[in-house]
Amino acid sequence: MRPSLQSTTLGYLTIFLPYCCSTAALPQLPIAHPRSYPDPNNQNYLARQESLKEGHSDVDIELLSNAKEQTPSETLSSSSTATRVPVLRLNFPDPSVLQDEDGTWYAFATAGNGKQIQAATAPSSSGPWAYVDRHVLPDPGSWTTGQHTWAPDVSRLGQGRYVMYYSGQQRPTEDTNGSPRSPHYCLGVATASSALGPYIPMEKPWFCAEDKGGIIDPSGFHDPLTGRRYVIYKIDGNSIGHGGSCGNGETPHVPTPIMIVEVDSEDGVTILGDPIQILDRDEADGPLVEAPSLAYLEASDGEGRYVLFYSSHCWFEGSYDINYATANSVDGPYRKSGYNPLMATGDLGLTAPGGATVVEGEGRLVFHANCREGRCMYDAEFWVDGTDVIIREQEG
């Protein structure tokens, strides 16, 4: 759906698909996740801007902001102030959204404010959002530490069934020599009979990949063209990196690929086939790519593409950003846009935006960025145009 143009303080994003293409008291937290990686830096940022101007994909997404820019080298700080107003002013990292059958919108976020998974509700995707003071996932599973439950994503399966994908930190184990082994993250799955749960987790983790660093950032995708259902996630290779930015800024860099796996369209859990890699980091991305979110976006002439939104660089540095890649097929190959980043520090007056999720059918993205409370939820509108790239931000 293409939103109407009107006077607004929202920043508009535009996606161009050419005709030639087929197809409670809240704590003051400064960061999104309780990670602690050494030596944060962002030396790749400026080089990245130059390298990406050399080529681009055939789907162009651009952002224009008249807000005062902040320097890319800023690290996250709880005292940073954005000119953009959050749609939910509290620490609500890694937001994902879902519309229920009755029209109510739900948002879910990483652990915080005393909850394993946080939730909020709104009458529309643009709000107003109200925090839900309840435990939607009371127990993330006996296989987890019961802490640091990250990046939930909820899918409605129909007939009063919901499935939540999330990242859970495994309980510490010992290696063959009896030495403690660092706990990596695995994907967990929980189900419920209502959007707000309570969600009941599976007894065991769903996916792990410990030898590659673990798995984080799951996101569900229901393909409107085929009716098939998928889950996209990140191999957390930077957790076993060799130091530097987000643990993977020093060579040799460890891969942090984005994977896709098909699941049963009815239960959302049964795995169909092997996972397929659809993206990975390169030098322009810094230490990692992560936070994938997949959507099928159509142009005004009916043409469309699969668009994979993702973040790159380190989440607690000012160079963290939002990017996209496109493909004709759900399993790729995906081409990173030469106009990346889509959104970066300084755009809309924000610092380190990331974790973008498409609001299906609404021409809207939700994402997190730095705020006094921690990582607040923000949004921005976009539309798909088959003949031109329209970029506009108005004050009103």
Sign of CA dihedral 282, 283, 284, 289: positive
Annotated catalytic, 94?
yes
Which pair of tokens denotes residue 97? 């959204």
Q: How many CB atoms lie within 10 A of CB 321?
A: 25
Which residue type occupies 260? I
* Distance, CA of 368 to CA of 374 (rounded, Å): 9
DSSP state letter for 334: -
Return d(Cα 242, Cα 255) in angstroms, integer.
12
Q: Tokens representing 383?
A: 């539309």
Question: What per-residue string of b and e applies to 272-290 under the rule 16 or more CB within 10 Å gives b?
Answer: eeebeebbbbeebbbbbbb
Burial label, 81 (beta-carbon count in 10 A; 0-12, 13-18, 19+): exposed
Task: Compute the distance between CA of residue 387 and CA of residue 66 in angstroms, rounded to an integer.
Answer: 25
Structure tokens, 187? 């994907």
Bridge partners, 157 (sequence order):
none
CA angle 150, 139, 266 (to 5 degrees): 75
Q: How far is 231 from 108, CA to CA, in rounded Å?
A: 17
Question: Which member of 153, 236, 290, 317 is catalytic?
Answer: 290
Strand partners, 163: 155, 191
Rounded distance between C-alpha atoms, residue 29 and residue 113, angstroms: 10
Q: Which two tokens stand for residue 304?
A: 């469309």
91 three-class SS: coil
27: tokens are 């704590």
For residue 183, cis peptide bond before it (omega within 30 degrees of 0): no
For 122, the token pair is 């709104």
Q: Residue 49: left if φ>0, alpha if ψ -120 to 50, beta else—which one?
A: alpha
List, in sequence order, the alpha helices (H) in 79-227.
Answer: none
**Could you tell me the two tokens for 3?**
């939103």
Kindly name the residue from 60, 94, 210, 262 that is annotated as catalytic.
94
Active site residues: 94, 290
